[in-house]
Every structure is written in C-alpha cells, then in structure tokens.
Amino acid sequence: MAGLLETVDSRTQLAGKNRLELLLFRFADKQRYGINVFKVREILKCPPLSHLPGSHPVVRGVANVRGKSISILDLARATGLQALENLEQAYVIITEYNGRTQGFLVSAVEHIVNLNWERIHPPPSASGRHNYLTAVTNVNGALVEIIDVEKVLNEVSPVAEQLSEATLDAALRQQASCFKVLIVDDSCVARRQVSRCLQAIGVQVLACNDGGQALGMLNTMLAEGKQPPKELLMMICDIEMPEMDGYTLTAQVRANSQLASLHIVLHTSLSGAFNEAMVKKVGADQFVAKFRPDELAGLVTARIRQFALDTSLGEASQPCSNI
C-alpha cells in the first residue's frame, strides 16, 4: 500500500503544472518517438512470440508476460513504416490504454525526459489529415514525434462506439437538444468518438483540439457577455494535449470566478489508481476512462436530468433560453 501511495503522490506532482514525462524510443532509423510515461508499465527485451492465426497484420504475436498473454504490436508497421525485422534485438514497451494492456515493439529505448506541455505542439498542417502524429516536440535540438496511439489501437482493434438502446430516450433527446457540450481532445479519433456519442444523445457539440484553444473559446464567450457555466452543460476534456494539458486547463478554469462553476469531466486513456487523486487535486468534477460510450452517455444524461430538476425548483435558468 505504501508503494502505491508513493506512486500516486509522485505522479500527481505533475498535475496542474502543465508538465509530462516522455519515454523516448526509436524504430530502425534514427528518428526519435515519444510516449507518455504514465502509459508505460514496463520495458523488456522482446520475449518469444506465439503467432495468433487470423490476427491483424500489425500484431506480431502474443507474449507471456508475468503469466499474462499480451498482444505485441509492431508500432512501426502500424504507422506505415517498415516492419521491424530483428526481433531478438528489439524491445517491447508494455503499456495500458483505455483499460487494455498491450506491448509495442520498438528497436531501441533511450531515456525519459521531463517537459512542459507548452513545448509540445500539434503536428505541422502539411503532414495531412491521415498522419499518425498527435504532437511533436524538440529535445536537444532533435525532433521527437509523438504517435497518436489511440488511432493505431482503434485501427487494430476498434472499440464499440454505439450506445445501447437503454441510453437512448426520445423525451431526453428533446431536452438534450437545448444543451451544448464542449469537448477538448487532440486526438481526431477521440473527438469523433465523443462527438458521435453526444450527438446520439441529442446534445449540440463544440470541439477544440487542445486546452489553450478551449480556454480561448471560454474567454471569448466571456468577452461577448455570455456565461459559459450556464451556456455549457459541461466540458469533457482529455488530459494529454499539446500547448496546455487538461489538468492545467481545469486549474485555469477554476481560478477564474466567471468560469469556476463550469462542470468538468476529465476523459482520458490514462489508467491507474492515481486518476482519482489527480481529479481531486485539480478540481475536476468527474473522471471517465476512454472510450466507454454508455458510461460517458450516462454522465451526460444525468447532468441533463439534474439541470431539469434544478430548473423545476427554480435553481437554474431555462437552457434553451441561453443557447
């Protein structure tokens, strides 16, 4: 228990400080890539792999790691590069995303760097819509590319995006159409998933690519004489984003008396016991792991019903009059 609490404490030290730690690695070439250390469980030499008949071409096999069978993905091949050949010299980065554990095959693992999110930037627009980068940065004069792992995993093993029938209610949809929800996420896949989920409920969707853009939108609303906490049902925000992360965005919102009451849900693929501590530390209202459409829809519909109850009690203004 003491070890777990120390881990929670050490990781929450970065919360609200707009910082992250990147594990740097390479494929066959000299280009460096990065992955958030929060996602990494361990690093090991590539173990013996068992072929899995009928598996996706990116899955090189299954490894037995500490008594658990884990799929090993060739991250180079997944992003359109040449598949790794010398597996005996390769490494596997065991990661956890969206509650799922998998290994990423890489040629070499270098070291961990601690950076400010302000040094992490969106990929160049010239890279096109179909690239596999979610961000880029510079470390010691060299470009580091951060791969959109959520996009890779969704292509290899797509998650169900449909809501169950129990969450779709005609009367609720009519109420929901009066509300706007702001989603903030740098991953195009995640923005699409959340948008489809919310649109199925019936709410209107506003979307931003990072925390800085979202804070700018909220401040613009204030400048126009609007009240974001009353006009927005909630803000659903990723944690890992270039320029400004979700923790810092939450802290900035809470520090502004005109924005402080905005309902904030942190929505992330980060997993582990430290999430609850981080949500409490930065003052978010709720946390939901990616991507669980019914759970996310449940949070949104509960807020709509609560708003309707508050309105009937005279504690809130009519939403449609604000939108």
pLDDT confidence tier of residue 275, bands split at 50, 70 and 90: low
What local confidence, expressed as pLDDT, does residue 6 receive?
Answer: 43
Between CA 26 and CA 81 the distance in angstroms is: 12
Q: List the single range of 161-175, 184-198, 213-227 with lowest mean pLDDT.
A: 161-175
Over pLDDT 70: what percentage of the chain? 82
pTM of this structure: 0.77
Contact criterion met (CB below 8 Å) for 38 and 10: no
Q: Is residue 98 very low, low, confident or very high in pLDDT (cuts 50, 70, 90)?
A: confident
Beta bridge partners of residue 94, listed in sequence order? 42, 103
The alpha carbon of residue 281 and the mean position of all alpha carbons in its chain are separated, in whole angstroms, by 18
Comparison of pLDDT for 206 and 99, the residue scoring more: 206
Whether residue 63 contacts residue 49, with contact meaning beta carbons closer than 8 Å, is answered with yes
Whether the pLDDT of residue 53 is over 90: the answer is: no
Dist CA 10 CA 136 (whole Å)? 25
pLDDT of residue 169: 67
Looking at residues 296-302, what average pLDDT do you find? 90
Distances from the Cα of 95 to the Cα of 39, 44, 102, 122, 142, angstroms = 5, 12, 6, 23, 25
Strand segments, DSSP code E, in the chain are 19-26, 32-36, 40-45, 59-65, 68-74, 91-97, 100-106, 108-116, 133-139, 142-147, 180-184, 204-208, 232-237, 264-268, 286-289
The mean-pLDDT minimum among 97-106, 235-244, 272-281, 293-302 falls in 272-281
In the predicted structure, residue 279 carries a pLDDT above the cut 80:
no
Q: Are 9 and 99 in contact (CB under 8 A)?
A: no
Q: How far apart are CA 45 and CA 140, in angstroms?
A: 27
Mean pLDDT of the chain, nearest integer: 83
